[in-house]
């Protein structure tokens, strides 16, 4: 480890600066997180080191109070502590002393400040610290990625003889006073990721998730922004806790501090007890800076995800899922006929959903018995798999490995394998319970069954579901809280299965979109954004999921004419145009579609195959449109040469004729040929504007973003596509 680190370290990448104060032997403090400052001069450095430090009068302690990335009560910080824990009431307040600092990926600097070169790619800082009196050691890992993301996590080790119970670790980043609003997300089943805006005032806004999975109503991304924060304007600072179990997000401001954002795992009582030498590692907490609106923030995350070696890069296959087509009614003749029709419209992957295994004829039995039902499939799945692959499609399968029905061979044989308290079973949810994967024998059993399935069958894809919250989730004979260990075990299960079958892709599904976070995305290729396929609801769910997840990883399906979840009816153009902006799929009994509908669907599938290289590598953009009934979103190629936009009406506009709409994100100095894109060029029950012809119009990107174009007059719940190509 290096111990000659500078007192101040300046990391720079992608227009972002992270300035760390490493002086004084205490834990690191962030002097600046935000826009790139350029090379630090002596005057700026001195100002940063004194800015925001409160005068001693009226404060908790005399002298200056520095708030570290892990805030400590002993430093005089009387807000939310960074570490909560004790030894039965002892050693509850820490005072860590830095013993070494390792700095990697940074350029040369002056004696007192290491300044990363502006062309560099961020850097990594590892700080080792101890509190000998408390018997604790701490390793802090801070990173500025080449895309401008800040990542933090901490590892706490018990160095004393007595056990230490960890109550939680919260890692923080500061935000300036001009961040006056908070944006986070809430929601429920079938309406995930609903935006919530509140004032950022004195006190703490704490979003806690105790569902045992990421949750429909998780904060997802908690953003502190300027008053004008929108998709393409305003400055914002966001935080995301990358954890698929219980977690907490925090925004806190006091009269003595401009503000903090932070987060970490939410630990239940007694969930993590460290014996001597044991360690607890917190989840990654991501800091997301936006110089020019939420699209800027999202673009950094998308670029980071796409740079990973495991990111899915081959064209995302058009996927048909059988759930809303047949539900539990599995029959070889029905499914082969559906596969034939799917292949005719251009489907590339056929996924058999729930109902293929054990006694699973409805949702009351069979979970946990991951063997093919001989009652429904007397010859096994092989005839269907051969038929599907013979049509040139991949075969996929639904599983829910973390769950069990009481009416199952597994639960009858091993009732002690359930997450439960010794005195009672948890109340059932969807007629099911949670299998305790932290038990080695339960873990090995499930891994063995899934491994056998993938070894025997030509399966390219697993839809991995998780259909209930973890309530009364006790582990072991004493029923201690088991959510933390269950989350880690679920990660290990996915990792082990992928190690044995590296070619198999996995979708994270959890009653729809209840397990979507950056940690589950480290080991999956797709998320199911919502069980609601209603295109009107998806016009909100998908863009806000896109705040964190790039389009190629968001499952978006074309449902039947009447949405099963809401009963709403939409045109095929509205349904398909909505699903186009994601990883396209179909969830519809195509045997019921007439020839015209199949032809139109095939045209949309063909368009998707044509534009998916653009949609799945380009930059997502969302316009700030004053009219609440109109939305404009799209994707612009990385080099600005091509773009596809959707103009959407979600209600009847109060403005008639419709106002002009911007087409954001284009090269301001280039000229673009703008025209309607078939098959999304049909204006039904409305009026086309004069330029709505293949000839279109030619305008500079700056004009298209600032002045916009006249949109067709569309009735409620309609969508049209606009293509813009640089000339």
Write the CB contacts of 428 (distance below 8 Å, at least 6 apart in sequence): 406
In this structure, whether the domain defined by 620-726 belongs to CATH 2.60.40.1180 is answered with yes
Q: Is the pLDDT of residue 473 over 50?
A: yes
Band the pLDDT of 53: cuts 50, 70, 90: low
Q: Is-contact 281 153, C-beta < 8 A?
A: yes
Q: How much is the average pLDDT of 260-281?
A: 98
pLDDT > 90 in the chain, percent: 89
**430 marked ligand binding residue:** yes
Q: How confident is the model at residue 117, as a pLDDT?
A: 42
463 in a labelled binding site: yes
Task: Show the beta-strand stretches assigned E in 442-531.
Answer: 461-464, 474-475, 480-481, 505-508, 526-528
The pLDDT tens digits of the residues spanning 401-435 come to: 999 999 999 999 999 999 999 999 999 999 999 99
Q: Residues with catalytic annotation? A: 465, 531
Cβ atoms 140, 34 nearer than 8 A: no
**Comparing 45-49, 482-486, 518-522, which segment has the lowest mean pLDDT?**
45-49
The whole-number pLDDT of residue 317 equals 98
Question: For a pLDDT cut of 70, what percent of the chain falls above it?
Answer: 96
Q: pLDDT grade, residue 113 (50/70/90)?
A: low
DSSP 8-state assignment for residue 84: E
Structure tokens at 493: 């299960």
For residue 465, which of 427, 421, 434 has the smallest C-alpha distance? 434
Phi/psi region, residue 36 (left: phi>0; alpha: psi -120 to 50; beta: rest), is: beta
Rounded CA-CA distance 515/161 in Å is: 38
Q: Sign of dihedral through CA atoms 49, 51, 53, 56?
A: positive
364-514 matches 620-726 in fold: no
Q: Which pLDDT score is estimated for 645?
A: 98
Q: Which CATH superfamily is domain 364-514 in?
A: Aldolase class I (3.20.20.70)
* Domain boundaries defined on the chain: 8-306, 318-347+529-613, 364-514, 620-726
Residue with tokens 């018997």: 135
Q: Is 417 annotated as a binding residue?
A: no
Task: Please tell me whether 424 is known to bind a ligand.
Answer: no
**What's the CATH number for 8-306?**
2.70.98.60
- 52 or 328, greater pLDDT: 328
Residue 465 labelled as part of a binding site: yes
Query: Measuring CA to CA, which residue among 169, 308, 301, 272 is closest to residue 487?
Result: 272
Q: 374-383, 453-462, 656-665: lowest mean pLDDT where? A: 656-665
pLDDT, residue 154, reads 98
Is 509 annotated for ligand binding? yes
Question: Within 10 A of 457 (CB to CB), how many other CB atoms are there?
Answer: 18
Determine the pLDDT at residue 118.
41
Task: Please tell me the predicted confidence (pLDDT) of residue 1.
Answer: 41
pLDDT value at 105 more than 80 = no
Is the pLDDT confidence value at 119 over 70? no
pLDDT at 121: 78
pTM for this one? Answer: 0.96
């Amino acid at each position: 480890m290096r111990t000659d680190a500078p007192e101040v370290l300046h990391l720079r990448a992608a227009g972002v600066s992270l300035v760390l104060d490493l002086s004084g032997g205490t834990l690191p403090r962030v002097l600046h997180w935000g826009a790139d400052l350029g090379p630090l001069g002596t005057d700026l450095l001195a100002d940063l080191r004194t800015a925001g430090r409160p005068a001693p009068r009226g404060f908790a302690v005399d002298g200056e109070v520095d708030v570290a990335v892990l805030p400590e009560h002993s430093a005089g910080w009387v807000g939310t502590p960074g570490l909560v824990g004790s030894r039965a009431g002892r050693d509850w307040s820490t005072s860590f002393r830095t013993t070494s600092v390792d700095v990697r990926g940074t350029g040369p600097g002056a004696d007192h400040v290491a300044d990363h070169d502006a062309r560099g790619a961020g850097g990594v800082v590892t700080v080792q610290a101890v509190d000998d009196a408390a018997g604790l050691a701490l390793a802090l890992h801070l990173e500025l990625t080449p895309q401008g993301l800040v990542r933090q996590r901490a590892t706490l080790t018990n160095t004393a003889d007595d056990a230490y119970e960890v109550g939680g670790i919260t890692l923080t980043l500061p935000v300036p006073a001009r961040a006056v609003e908070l944006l986070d997300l809430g929601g429920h089943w079938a309406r995930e990721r609903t935006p919530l805006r509140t004032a950022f005032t004195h006190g703490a806004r704490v979003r806690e998730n105790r569902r045992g999975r990421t949750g429909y109503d998780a904060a997802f991304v908690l953003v502190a922004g300027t008053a004008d924060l929108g998709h393409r304007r305003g400055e914002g600072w966001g935080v995301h806790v990358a954890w698929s179990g219980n977690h907490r997000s925090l925004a806190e401001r006091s009269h003595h501090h401009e503000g903090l954002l932070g987060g970490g795992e939410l630990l239940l009582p007694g969930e993590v007890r460290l014996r001597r030498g044991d360690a607890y590692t917190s989840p990654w907490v991501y800091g997301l800076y936006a110089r020019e609106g939420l699209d800027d923030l999202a673009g950094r995350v998308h670029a980071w995800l796409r740079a990973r070696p495991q990111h899915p890069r081959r064209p995302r296959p058009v996927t048909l899922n059988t759930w809303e087509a047949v539900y539990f009614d599995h029959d070889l003749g029905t499914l082969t006929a559906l596969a034939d029709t799917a292949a005719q419209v251009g489907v590339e992957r056929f996924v058999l959903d729930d109902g293929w295994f054990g006694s699973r004829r409805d949702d009351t039995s069979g979970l946990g018995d991951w063997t093919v039902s001989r009652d429904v499939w007397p010859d096994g799945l092989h005839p269907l798999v051969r038929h599907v692959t013979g049509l040139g499609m991949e075969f996929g399968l639904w599983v829910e490995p973390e769950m069990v029905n009481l009416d199952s061979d597994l639960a009858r044989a091993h009732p002690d394998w359930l997450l439960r308290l010794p005195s009672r079973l948890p109340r059932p949810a969807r007629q099911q319970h949670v299998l305790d994967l932290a038990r080695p024998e339960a873990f090995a059993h499930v891994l063995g069954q899934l491994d056998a399935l993938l070894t025997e069958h030509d399966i390219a894809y697993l839809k991995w579901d998780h259909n209930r919250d973890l309530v009364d989730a006790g582990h072991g004979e004493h029923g201690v809280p088991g959510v933390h260990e269950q989350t880690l075990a679920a990660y290990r299960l996915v990792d082990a299965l992928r190690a044995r079958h590296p070619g198999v892709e996995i979708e994270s599904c959890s009653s729809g979109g209840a397990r979507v976070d950056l940690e589950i995305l480290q080991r999956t290729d797709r998320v199911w954004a919502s069980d609601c396929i209603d295109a009107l609801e998806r016009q909100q769910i998908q863009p806000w999921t896109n705040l964190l997840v790039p389009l190629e990883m968001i499952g978006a399906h074309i449902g039947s004419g009447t949405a099963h979840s809401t009963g709403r009816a939409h045109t095929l153009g509205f349904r398909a145009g909505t699903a186009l902006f994601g990883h396209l799929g179909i969830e519809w009994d195509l045997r019921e579609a007439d020839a015209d509908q199949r032809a139109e669907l095939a045209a949309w599938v063909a368009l998707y195959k044509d534009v998916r290289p653009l949609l799945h590598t380009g930059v997502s953009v969302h316009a700030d449109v004053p009219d609440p009934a109109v939305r404009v979103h799209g994707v612009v190629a990385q080099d600005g040469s091509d773009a596809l936009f959707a103009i959407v009406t979600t209600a009847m506009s109060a403005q008639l004729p419709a106002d002009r709409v911007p087409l954001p994100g284009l090269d301001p100095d280039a000229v673009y040929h703008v025209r309607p894109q078939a098959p999304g060029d049909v204006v039904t029950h409305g009026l086309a504007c004069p330029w709505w012809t293949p000839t279109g119009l030619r305008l500079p990107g700056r004009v298209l973003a600032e002045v916009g174009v006249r949109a067709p007059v569309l009735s409620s719940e309609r969508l049209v596509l606009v293509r813009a190509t640089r000339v």
